[in-house]
Amino acid sequence: MALPTLLGFPPTIDRARDIYRIRGLTSQVNLAGLPALVLPIPSGARLPASLQLLGPHGSEDRLLAAGAVIEAAVRG
């Protein structure tokens, strides 16, 4: 499954404590104990982008392989 990593834009450094407001898509995955991989994705804009891949229990090797394919594809 592919999901965004954050629910919004990252806070500025002076508001770093507000990160809890946008991390709702990763917290549940961590609590469920599912394997996940987060990849930075070049967006062409000044804002960072990222992609979160989730897999069933025991799928770490497949997630890493999928991440390598995505990483190579976005590099161009």
pLDDT in tens, the chain (76 residues): 888 887 877 788 898 888 877 777 777 888 888 999 999 888 776 666 888 999 999 999 999 999 999 999 988 6
Rounded Cα–Cα distance for residues 27 and 48 (Å): 20
Residues 6+ apart with CB under 8 A from 69: none
**Whole-model pTM over 0.75:** no
The DSSP element (H or E) to which 61 belongs, if any, is helix 60-75
Q: Give the count of domains, the chain.
A: 1
pLDDT at residue 66, as a whole number: 95
Query: DSSP assignment, residue 8?
Result: S
pLDDT at residue 76, as a whole number: 66
Show the domain range for 10. Answer: 2-75
